[in-house]
Structure 1
Amino acid sequence: MTAMPPADAATAPRPVSMGLYAIAAALATCADLFGLAAALPVAGAALVAFVLLEFARIRRPQQIAALVLFVVSIGLGLRFGALWSILSEGVLKTLPFMLIFASVGWLRAAAGESPSLMALRQGLSRMPPGRRFIAISSAAHGLGAGFNLAGMGLLTPILDDVKDDPEAGQRLRCAILWGFSTAASWSPFLVGTAVVLSALPGVAWFQMAPYGVFIAVGFLIWAAVYNRLVHRGAKPEGPAPPRAPMPNLWPAALRMLVAILLLFALTLSLIEIGGLRLTTAIAIAAPCFGLSWLALVHARRDPQRIAQVVRGVIQSYPGMRTESTLFVAANIFGVAISASLPHDHGTNGAVPWAGLGTGVDFVDTLLAIWAYLAVCAAGLHPVILLVVFTTLADPAALGLPLPLLGAVFMALWGMGTAVSPLSGTTLFMSQFSPVSSFTIAWRWNSVFFSLGAVWLAVAIALLR
């Protein structure tokens, strides 16, 4: 089985950091649940303390990116005399996203203990070469939609089958990456969805989901086609036992599908019936769902295992240091940019750069997507681009239904994090790869998503 990276000073348990992160997440949840506005400054202070304590332990590229954003934001704050409001608002804007980061651990822990998932993973490993890519990308899509980054981690042991074949290893890693990244087009459990909903407050997730599913299906088909075209004549993606019968994946896949649907139902019930925000609903649903799942698996045979898993989840909170730091920096930068730019969205609500296009909607859409991917590949986080875009332009002036626009933003989020060498997606996969996150983002993903941008432009033209 592929092991997690070895423990070191950055991954060892850190009680103070664990406590700070737990306090910030708990207070942010209580503030939204019970209207305790006074709890938000305390939660924000705990988050700032967590970032300062853990900053030295994140990777150098992320440190540099965060520092650049902080320095620019401070400069803008001093220039406009709004430094404190920019810093405080940026930190408070990050709190809802922390809830999703914290929830990932509960979902990962519960799914990792599931016999159904183990059976599914073993079945995927025994898939005949040639069909394995489609099966793994589909599994990564479903698991990623339900369990966020944990969905990728749950499939990485399959990579042991191809550890001596770099080309086959790349193909399977791409299957996992592309399946997961396209889940951002519709899943409520990826942080991009929360960012989009905050940028489009008049739109609900269930309004965007049908558009997102349509876009995601097209990307999955494109992944299979691209794999065939690029690797035509290459060796199959990994060995299969001679004369091995086709494994029956349906029982395990159906059980996992039921689990994901139950998780969705619980979360959406909290939103629609309880009136909670998406991030708060996930913060409540994920631990409850995870603990219930663990109880079903271990309550009779090994109840002590439940306590061990729970301790592991809490001890994993310091591992959120990179995502938390980058989101704090990105949100502060976004607030600073918002404070320094005009808010009239141009003349009569028009998009300020509308006159710069070719005049052909499809071509302009495609060029805009490519420009966005180029900026993300340079390391700028999608959250920054989204904040700047919604500050400069009135989304309604684009002529797209807002639910469709939200789904497009969600799809762009997945594409942007896939081509960025500094995103959690590429950094996570680099831990299980013999290459760096830069190779994964720029060589493995950039061509696929640059060509896939044509599909997104087509989908926009068909659905508008």
Structure 2
Amino acid sequence: MQQGDALTGYSMLALILLALLASLGLEQLSWAAGFFAWLAALRLFSRLTSLQKGQVLVMFLLGFSGLFWGLWREVDLHWWRRAWEANQALLTMLLSVSFLRLVAITDLAAKEALPRGKKALWKTLLGVHAFGAVINFSAMIIMADRLNNQRPLTPLQALVITRGFTMAANWSPFFAAMGVVLISAPGADLLTLMLVGSLVAAIGLFLAGYWLLAGTEAAETQGYPMHLQALVLPFALAVSVLVSQSIWEDLAILTLVSLLSLIFTLVLLVWRYRLQLVTKRLRQHIEHTLPSMSGELLLFMGAGVLAAGLGAALQAAEFTLQLDYFGPWQAWWLLVVLVLVSAVGVHPVISIATAGGIFAPWVDDPNLLALVFLMTWSLGVAISPLSGTHLAMQGRYGLPAHSFTRLNFKFVLLMLLVNWVALQAYSYLISDSFW
């Protein structure tokens, strides 16, 4: 069980509630939400790993350097407000989505024998993708733990789980990637991103499954016992986001996802359990699970400060990007550069926040830029030896994190070609007014 910290947990809950109220019209509460975000960050910093501390401190150092330079050059002070508000819309979405863990995975498969063979591994690949799209990292760990119970997790099982999981970054509105991208590429349309991204993910899942399960090892490898009815919740959540957006067009997507996550969780908890147990499970989540998200909280706060500092620095330098045209080829080369940056250990949130600050003001089509960022997250996590996904495989199951860079290298190259086709096709359809 995660280490409990009631004060930090309820500070994070206050952040959620105040930020939601601010996004619904009470904008003055964003200052208070920022206070609770920074309070939680100060209390959670000591929980970070050395690697996480280094990444966060570098982002804070660069961000505040830009802010102070902007202050010296007398630029707009709204950059300081952005830093204080600490990426709260994204944090609220991330924390709200975490509540779905209480209802998304049942104990249905806990007592079942693990199935073997290619069919079982296909179900595992698709299952971790569907659940990972909703409850993110937890889905991967739950399934990997289950497979690791009887015998050590094999590299093949780990690749099936991690590739299925990382493909969800291409399209899921509940994935942290989408939140970062919608902030870094203002004006991007969620429906467009989900449609193009889901097609890319579908191709990626097919290629991953075909590639991984072609050998003889797959026939004797155990998979996770998935059931069709277990996919109802992920499907219902995805549809609810699209329907709600069409009804409340002025409501920010991150706010919508946060509200739906909390509403779904509360309704399903009350429907399934008696009130006393509902209260107990919510309290445990607030006091234990929320504080355990120290890495995510501080990483995204650091990205917020970095983006604010970069904005202040660019304004102070009176920077203008001489960008005559940003089409599919330029987008693809930017993707290649960002994936290479991820391969040397830079977290995608850092490279995306930086690239967004530089390119977003000058790119005519925010959807094209947003697609690049979603693809960057998906492939960057797959290729990076320092991604949380691979570090979890090493720390929890003894599989070397650096081995995933080698094992995923050819797959990432293939997906870069798939992404090139997707970006070209998207731009072609745009020019013919299909969108």
The one-letter code of the counterpart of 2:420 is A
Structure 2 equivalent of residue 460 of structure 1: 423
Aligned residue for 1:94? Answer: 87
Q: Distance in 1 between matches of 2:356 and 2:222?
A: 48
The amino acid across from 2:162 in the alignment is: L
Equivalent pair of 2:185/2:360 in contact (CA under 8 Å):
no
* Offset at residue 297 of structure 1 (A): 2.8
- Which aligned pairs between 1:172-187 and structure 2 lie closer than 5 A? 172-187=157-172
- Taking the aligned partners of 1:51 and 1:394, their CA distance within structure 2 comes to 28
Q: Give the Cα separation in 2 of the matches to 1:142 and 1:235.
A: 21
For residues 219-245 of structure 1, what are the alpha-carbon distances to aligned partners after superposition, in whole Å with 9 as ceiling and x for unaligned? 11110233146xx344645259xxxxx
CA 1:397–1:44: 2 relative to 1, 3 Å: closer
Alpha carbons of 1:260 and 1:389: their partners in 2 closer, same or farther (altered >3 Å)? same
State the Cα distance separating 1:42 from its structure 2 match. Answer: 1.3
Find the aligned partners of 2:62 and 2:397 in 1 and give their Cα distance. 34
Contact 1:419–1:445 (8 Å) recurs in 2: yes
> Structure 1 CA distance, aligned partners of 2:84 and 2:175?
20
Give the SS at the match of 1:38. helix
Counterpart of 1:130?
A: 118
1:4 corresponds to: none
User: 1:104 touches 1:147 (CA, 8 Å); kept in 2?
Assistant: yes
**What is the CA distance between 1:325 and its match in structure 2?**
0.7
Equivalent in 59, 76, 79 of residue 49 of structure 2: 59
Residue 421 of structure 1 and its aligned partner are, at CA, apart by 4.3
1:329-344 equivalences under 5 Å are 329-341=302-314
- Range with greater deviation from structure 2 (181-190 or 415-424): 415-424
In 2, Cα distance between equivalents of 1:395 and 1:76: 18
Identity of aligned residues (%): 23
User: Is 2:120–2:222's contact at 8 Å kept on the other side of the alignment?
Assistant: no
Match of 1:378 in 2: 344
**Shift in Å, 1:61:** 0.5
Native 8 Å contact 2:331 2:369 kept in 1: no
Give the residue type in structure 1 aligned to 2:121.
F
TM-score normalised per structure 1: 0.80
Q: CA deviation at 1:29?
A: 0.7
Tell me which residue corresponds to 2:283.
Answer: 311
Report what 1:210 is aligned to.
195
The answer on whether the counterparts of 1:76 and 1:336 sit within 8 Å (CA) in structure 2 is yes
Query: How far 1:425 sits from its partner (Å)?
Result: 3.4
- Determine which of 221, 228, 234 is the counterpart of 1:238: 221
One-letter code of the match for 2:99? W
Where does residue 76 of structure 1 map in the other structure?
66
Preserved CA contact (<8 Å) 1:110 1:291: no
Q: 1:403 to 1:421 in 2, by over 3 A?
A: same
Distance 2:325 2:178 in 1: 25
**Deviating more after overlay: 194-203 vs 103-112:** 194-203
Please give the per-residue CA displacement for 1:121-151, whole angstroms capped at 9, x wherever unaligned.
Answer: 777x643322333221111111112222232
What CA distance in whole angstroms lies between the structure 2 residues aligned with 1:256 and 1:392?
Answer: 42
- CA positional deviation for 1:367: 5.0
Label 1:16 to 1:237 Cα distance change in 2 as closer, same or farther (>3 A): farther
Question: Could you tell me how far 1:60 is from its partner in structure 2?
Answer: 0.7
For residues 291 and 32 of structure 1, the distance between their equivalents in structure 2, rounded to whole angstroms, comes to 21
Q: SS in structure 2 opposite 1:379?
A: coil
1:410 to 374, 395, 410: 374
3-state SS of the aligned residue for 2:254?
helix
Maintained 8 Å contact 2:63/2:305:
yes
- Does the aligned pair in 2 maintain the 1:25–1:102 contact within 8 Å? yes
User: 1:431–1:409: structure 2 CA closer, same or farther, 3 Å change rule?
Assistant: same
Work out which of the residue numbers 11, 35, 52 in structure 2 matches 1:20.
11
Instruction: Kindly report which structure 2 residues correspond to 1:265-284, keeping only aligned pairs within 5 A, or say none.
Output: 265-274=239-248, 275-284=250-259
- Structure 2 CA distance for partners of 1:391 and 1:278, relative to 1, 3 Å: same
1:201, CA displacement in angstroms?
Answer: 2.9
Contact 1:133 1:237 in 2 (8 A): no
Q: Residue 432 of structure 2 corresponds to which residue in structure 1?
A: none
1:290 aligns with 2:268: no
- Whether 1:434 aligns to 2:401 is no
Partner of 1:243: none
Q: Take 2:322 and 2:383, find their aligned partners in 1: how far apart are those partners? A: 34
Change in CA separation of 1:393 and 1:405 when aligned onto 2, cut-off 3 Å: closer
Find the aligned partners of 2:331 and 2:323 in 1 and give their Cα distance: 22
CA distance in 2, matches of 1:224, 1:38: 49
**TM-superposition CA deviations, 1:303-326 (whole Å, max 9, x none):** 543233212211211112111111
Structure 1 runs not aligned, ≥5 long: 1-6, 241-246, 355-360
Pick from 147, 152, 177 the counterpart of residue 140 of structure 2: 152
Q: Matched residues in 2 for 1:177 and 1:454: separation?
A: 20
State the Cα deviation string for residues 342-366 of structure 1 (Å, max 9, x = none): 6765336446xx9xxxxxx76x766
2:30 paired with 1:40: yes
Letter in 2 for 1:79: W
Change (3 A) 1:338 1:440: farther
Find the counterpart in structure 2 of residue 30 from structure 1.
Answer: 21
Instruction: Measure, in 2, the Cα distance between the counterparts of 1:87 and 1:395.
Output: 19
The answer on 1:226 being equivalent to 2:226 is no
Structure 1: distance between partners of 2:266 and 2:363: 45
